[in-house]
Amino acid sequence: MSMFVWFCGLLLSLLLCPLLSGLICKLKGIFVGCPGPSVWQPYYDIIKLLRKGSVYSQTTTWVLPLAPLISLAAMLCAMLFLPFAFVDSPLAFEGDVIVFFYFLAGARVISVLAAMDTGSSFAGMGASREMQFSSLAELGMFCILAFLVMTTGNFSMSGLLNGAGILIWSYSGTALLLVIIAFFILLLSENCRVPIDDPDTHLELTMIHEAMVLDYGGPDLGIIHYTAALKLWLFTSICSLIIVPAGLFSGFSGLLLFILAQFLLGVLVAIVEGTAARFRFLKVPQFLLAVPGLTIIAIIMLLLFK
């Protein structure tokens, strides 16, 4: 039964992830006083792109067309380790956190390589920015992992995210809150959201992630859009699994709560995007270094009050 719920969670994740992006766009529209695009727009876009043909620059190699597929595959593999709907993943094993994050890192490496492959100065600039900021984000990510490992004593994604239980809020609620804020910053940064990046800009010189995919069109771009939606869903999943203690809900009520939490986080992202201005680049590293900062404070609190 629980395996079935996990499988439903995975399937719904794959189906609903563009809807989350659509919801954010819709809410952003409402924030600025216009109706905004339909929440189904990302689906239309992806379907439209998949039906198109592709054009490749003659200076590129096989890396360019292969990168979106590898990225998508890596993202899908990483997804399999998540405990959807608070049910441990059937693939979980002790130490799979490392596998999980290497899948994410692998997706990034191949997209950076593809960006360099184009030889365009915009893509190169985007790749350099992406690597600079993600190396800082990685530091924060592993601090958060350390915190979760300390609270749960577990080394698998399922164990880390599901093992905390309701008790953690009672004995280290403040610490957990700091970690959630820290993770939310990471979520914004990894998914190229305001205030770090601007997913809607058309100005190549200010782009980070978008600059890397400027040379793509057609099905490749459709896959890239889908992968981006999947990545956002993956990060909101981790965030909601950290927030909601496991064991409170199980079965289909757990699944319902899981999906609901995803969309609530989407609303939060939309609020940030609709009201904040983007940082200048020099400020982004400071913002990203807040993540390990907050997490280390949380770890100290944990050690003091455990």
Q: Which residues bind another protein (CB under 8 A)?
A: 28, 31-34, 121-122, 124-125, 129, 194-195, 198, 200-206, 273-283
For the bound state, the minimum distance from the C-beta of residue 208 to another protein, rounded and expressed in Å, comes to: 9
| Largest pairwise CA distance in the chain | 61
Find all residues with CB under 8 Å of 283, minimum gap 6, and list them: none
For the bound state, the minimum distance from the C-beta of residue 133 to another protein, rounded and expressed in Å, comes to: 12
For the bound state, the minimum distance from the C-beta of residue 27 to another protein, rounded and expressed in Å, comes to: 11
Given the complex with another protein, which of 31 and 155 has the nearer CB atom? 31
Exposure string for 125-159, b = 16+ CB within 10 A, e = fewer: bbbbbbeebbebbbebbebbbebbeebbebbbbbb
Given the complex with another protein, which of 234 and 269 has the nearer CB atom? 269
Q: How many helices (H) and strands (E) does the chain have?
A: 11, 0
Q: Is 33 helix (H, G, I), strand (E, B) or coil?
A: coil
Given the complex with another protein, which of 152 and 201 has the nearer CB atom? 201
Given the complex with another protein, which of 101 and 122 has the nearer CB atom? 122
Distance CA 58, CA 99 (A): 35
Spell out the alpha helix ranges (H) of 80-120.
Answer: 96-118
Q: Are 297 and 181 in contact (CB under 8 A)?
A: no
Given the complex with another protein, which of 15 and 276 has the nearer CB atom? 276
Given the complex with another protein, which of 128 and 152 has the nearer CB atom? 128
Which run of H or E residues covers position 160? helix 157-162
Distance CA 31, CA 24 (A): 10
Q: Which two tokens stand for residue 289?
A: 């270094």
For the bound state, the minimum distance from the C-beta of residue 281 to another protein, rounded and expressed in Å, comes to: 5
Residue with tokens 């990483």: 78
For the bound state, the minimum distance from the C-beta of residue 134 to another protein, rounded and expressed in Å, comes to: 16
Given the complex with another protein, which of 7 and 122 has the nearer CB atom? 122
For the bound state, the minimum distance from the C-beta of residue 205 to another protein, rounded and expressed in Å, comes to: 5
Find all residues with CB under 8 Å of 123, minimum gap 6, and list them: 115, 116, 211, 212, 214, 215
For the bound state, the minimum distance from the C-beta of residue 187 to another protein, rounded and expressed in Å, comes to: 17
